[in-house]
Every structure is written in structure tokens, then in C-alpha cells.
Structure 1
Amino acid sequence: MSMCDAERRLLANALLDISNEWFVLVSESCIPLFDFNSTYRYFQNSSQSFVMSIDDPGRDGRGRYNLGMTPEVELAQWRKGWQWFEVDRELAIAIVKDTVYYPKFKEFCRPGCYADEHYFHTMLTIEAPHRLANRTVTWVDWSRAGPNSAHPAMFGRGDITEEFLREVREGGTCLYNNQNTTMCFLFARKFAPSALEPLLELAPTVLGFG
């Protein structure tokens, strides 16, 4: 639970500032895909928070469930998702003050079960399913990873082109407030330090800032 403990502390500290309304967890290898104002409006105008939460019947989904989770968490309620999320203030408070699900995950989500892929996703799906968009706003590429890899592709200097960045920004469709949109991802990962220079060169023309 060490990762989830750290995330809860980050949320608790951020909640101390009453002007903070949305809370986004990204990694050190993430980059923004849009300027600050566009990203801010995206969260501000959204009717839901962006937490991916899926019912995975496989080994890495339901296969990690422990019967000790009952009755607080039944197998049918067990969820999996990516660690990178965005929640509004109300959901952030719910995560920080939780005393119902946290003890169960701490005791029964042991090696082989990764709490940061299950805890928030399961808890929020049980408590506030209508508040979740059930998708992430952080783009990753698993196509170049091996079949048993636990990590997505890493992009370096040679990968950064205008075509690549436009594909990441606009290459798919999703639902936003029940409407189709191509603005699905606000961040992307994983980017190596060598990608910094070409990213800075392309940011003004492709990403709209810099």
C-alpha cells in the first residue's frame, strides 16, 4: 500500500488549499499535450472525473482478488485500472478519509496484487460509479512492449516528430460529457530525458504552448 499511502498524502496536502478543485496524478515521465488553459477547462467543464476502472476477468484482474475482501468488496465489485487519474475535490476527500476499504486492501492486497491498480478504482466504483468517466486522460503505448512487460513503451529523441505528437493528441475518439470528441488525452507517457529538446522545439506549433 506504500504507493497508495503516498498518493493519499499528496491528496491530503493538496486539499489544504481550498482553491484546489481538481487533482491530477501524473508521473515524472509524463508530458502535457495541451496548454494549461485548455487542460483546466477540460476538467472544469467535465461532469465526471477521469479514473479508469474495468472488470478484468483475467489473472491480472479478478485473479488478484482475495476472498478476505468480503463483505466490503465482493468479487463482482473488484476493479482494475491505471495509476494515473484525475479526481474532483469531493472524490479526493472520499479517498483521503476512507476507513472502510483501506484496511481490507492493506491486509489482503499482498504481493501479486498491486494496490495502486485496484484500491481507488474499486472503492470509487462502489461508492460513486456515476461520477467516473471510466477512462484515463494519460496516453501510453503498449504496442511496443513485450507480452509479459509491466511497462509501456519509452519514447526518446528519435521518436519525437510532428506527426507522432498529432497522432497522440487527435488519433482517437472518446466520450466527453456524453459527446464524441477527439480530445481524449491531456498527458502522455513515457518520455525519456532525450526527448526534451525536440519536444520543446515542437511545442509552440503542435502543442500550443512554449
Structure 2
Amino acid sequence: MKQRKATHQKSVYNYNKWKKRKIFVMLSLLLLLGFCLVLTHNSTTTNTTRSRILTLASLRSHFIVQKPKIAFLFIARNRLPLDMLWDAFFKGQESRFSIFVHSRPGFLFNKANTRSEYFLNRQVNDSVQVDWGEASMIEAERILLRHALVDPLNERFVFLSDSCIPLYNFSYTFDYIMSTSTSFVDSFADTKEGRYNPKMAPLVPVYNWRKGSQWVVLTRKHAEVVVNDTTVFPMFQQHCKRRSLPEFWRDHPIPADTSMEHNCIPDEHYVQTLLAVRFILTHLYRALLWTKNKKKERKKLDLIGYTSGRKPSTN
């Protein structure tokens, strides 16, 4: 009897001990689960906070109006001898301009040949050999525009040579160029014989033939027209060539009859003729028809060089 009672007590003791262990294990698991939930909540809260911060930063950058820039496009032989004048011109205006330089292949701007840091690492890497009176000058312009258009903040594109100097300070120049939504292109109908080559027709008709200065200022829209041109530029490459130079300057065989040559200088005609061929006048003219002072606005059109010499198309 005593043995049975002892066995029963031992069994009850073991059961209670097992029950206590079970409760301890369950409590431990509950505590661990609770700890995991707290960590997950904190992590979620942190990620949510971080996500909110990133979203707010994105919205802030989206609504901040980024300032437009002018791209200064230099066509140079080698170095820029007047770089210090440009250095003073650009100083303190770093957020309002971009610089791109086209020089002969193989030439590299460094601290030994330029005194201005603004021209370091500003060369295009696909430059071509440029010869006066050849279509390679146009190709250099198109290369510069292609690089400058990559930056969406560049809204105006100014062509410059290595002998150009600024006559006014940067602020005045910037405000003047940005004050209008149009390009600045010197353009007039070239009626001199020997410039236009009839072989360029019909893609480049004679009534769209224009002449003017190479040093233009283009809006982004018109810069894209120049870069995307696949029709007018090939015609200039094939049929717009300068007259043969005298024998002691000549780099090509002189033709038998030089009177048949067309003394066409591509860079003096290309942009002006291209814009006329593309009927850009049509859109500008329609926008100005409703102004009160039509004579003044027409004069403005002549100044920027978009008159085509005939009545605009209504198509």
C-alpha cells in the first residue's frame, strides 16, 4: 500500500514538473513571437518612413523648376587663344551654361594649352577634320548640337569660333537670348549667280535658297531640326562646293572649265536654307497673323531669317 502511494505521488510530481516545463516553453515561445512582431513592426515603420522621405524628395525635385541653360558651341582649329576673356565671362554663372568644343581630331585641351578650367574636358570625342569651304564645317556644327541636346536643360544653342569674344557680360547676354522664343538667324535670299547649284533641286528648290552668317543662335526645336536632317545635308555634301583655289593654293585638280563651278560655301547657306525648306515660316507666320502691328512682326521674321520668299503653305 505504501509502495503504491509513493508511486502515485511520484507520478503526480512528474506530471506537475512536465506541466510546468510545458507552460515555460509556451511562455518562451509567446515572448519570442512577441519580440519578432515588435521587430517586424519597427522594420515596417522604418521602411515606411524611408519610403515617405524618398517620395517627398521625389515630389520636391519634381516641382522645383530647374533653370534653363545656354549651350555655347565653339568650333576651333586647336586651342582657344581668347580663353581668358571667356573665363571672365563665364565666372560665377556655372548653373546657367554648358560648353562644348569641336577641335581637330587628336587635339586635347589641358592645363598646358588653356588657361581656363571651363574648357577642360569639354571637347567632343567624335570630331572631324574641318576644311574651309567644305561641308565638314556643317558636320562639326551637327556634332556639337548632337552632344548639347543630350542635356534637357539646354534651351538655346550658340555657335562661336575661336576668334569670337563677348561684348557684354553674361547676365545681359543670357537675358537677351532668353527674352524671345525664337532663334537668331541672319538670312536673306541669295540671288547671285553661281552660288546655287540646280542639281540640288527638287529637294532644295531655288526659292528656298538662303544665305547668312554661320554664327546663329538656335532654339531647342530648331537645333533638333538640324540634327535630324537627312535630306538637305546630303545635298550640300554633294553639290555645294567652293570654287577651285588658285594653282599655288590648290588641294584638288582644277577642272577644265572653272566657269561651270558653283562657288557655294556650305556654312553660309545650310541652316538658313534648311529652315526655309522645312517651312518653319508657316507655323510662325500663323502665330503672328493676329497681331495688330503686322509690319513690325514681319520685320522680326526677316531678322530671325525664316521668310521663305513666297506665300506660306496653308496645308
The interval holding the TM-score normalised by the smaller chain is 0.5 to 0.7
Structure with max Cα Rg: 2
1:96-175 map, 5 Å: 96-111=227-242, 112-127=263-278, 128-129=280-281
1:23 maps to which of 148, 157, 161 = 157
Q: Contact 1:4–1:115 (CA<8 Å) still a contact in 2?
A: yes
2:185 aligned with 1:51? yes
The percentage of counterpart residues that share the same residue type is 43
In structure 2, the residue matched to 1:77 is: 208
* Letter of the structure 2 residue corresponding to residue 4 of structure 1: I
* Letter of the structure 1 residue corresponding to residue 204 of structure 2: V
* Letter of the structure 2 residue corresponding to residue 23 of structure 1: F
Deviation readout 1:133-173 (Å, 9 max, x if unpaired): xxxxxxxxxxxxxxxxxxxxxxxxxxxxxxxxxxxxxxxxx
Q: Contact 1:49–1:87 (CA<8 Å) still a contact in 2?
A: yes
> 2: distance between equivalents of 1:66 and 1:178?
32
> 2: distance between equivalents of 1:130 and 1:53?
16
> 1: distance between equivalents of 2:182 and 2:136?
27
Q: Alpha-carbon deviation of 1:129? A: 3.0
**3-state DSSP of counterpart to 1:64:** coil
TM-score (structure 2 length as normaliser)? 0.40
> 2: distance between equivalents of 1:36 and 1:131?
31
> 2: distance between equivalents of 1:72 and 1:66?
12
Q: Contact 1:47–1:131 (CA<8 Å) still a contact in 2?
A: no
1:169-208 map, 5 Å: 178=297
TM-score (structure 1 length as normaliser)? 0.59
Q: Alpha-carbon deviation of 1:178? A: 4.6
Query: Number of residues paired by the alignment?
Result: 135
Aligned structure 1 segments of 4 or more residues deviating by more than 6 angstroms: none
Q: Contact 1:53–1:125 (CA<8 Å) still a contact in 2?
A: no
Q: Which moved more, 1:91-100 or 1:107-116?
A: 107-116
> 2: distance between equivalents of 1:178 and 1:108?
35
Q: Contact 1:80–1:118 (CA<8 Å) still a contact in 2?
A: yes
* Letter of the structure 1 residue corresponding to residue 166 of structure 2: P
In structure 1, the residue matched to 2:225 is: 94
* Letter of the structure 2 residue corresponding to residue 11 of structure 1: L
Q: Alpha-carbon deviation of 1:130? A: 6.2
Q: Contact 2:181–2:219 (CA<8 Å) still a contact in 1?
A: no
* Letter of the structure 1 residue corresponding to residue 225 of structure 2: A
> 2: distance between equivalents of 1:9 and 1:178?
33
**Cα–Cα, structure 1 residues 34 and 179, in superposed 2: closer, same or farther, change >3 Å?**
farther
Note the residue ranges of structure 1 that are not aligned, 5 or more in a row. Answer: 133-176, 185-210
Deviation readout 1:160-197 (Å, 9 max, x if unpaired): xxxxxxxxxxxxxxxxx9599xxx9xxxxxxxxxxxxx
Q: Contact 1:105–1:115 (CA<8 Å) still a contact in 2?
A: yes
In structure 1, the residue matched to 2:86 is: none
**3-state DSSP of counterpart to 1:6:** helix
> 2: distance between equivalents of 1:28 and 1:53?
23
The Cα RMSD (Å) is 2.5
> 2: distance between equivalents of 1:29 and 1:129?
32
**Cα–Cα, structure 1 residues 37 and 87, in superposed 2: closer, same or farther, change >3 Å?**
same
Compare relative contact order (CA 8 Å, sep 6+) and give the higher one, 1 or 2: 1
> 1: distance between equivalents of 2:232 and 2:136?
15
Deviation readout 1:73-116 (Å, 9 max, x if unpaired): 11111111111110011100110010011111111112221110
Q: Alpha-carbon deviation of 1:131? A: 7.8
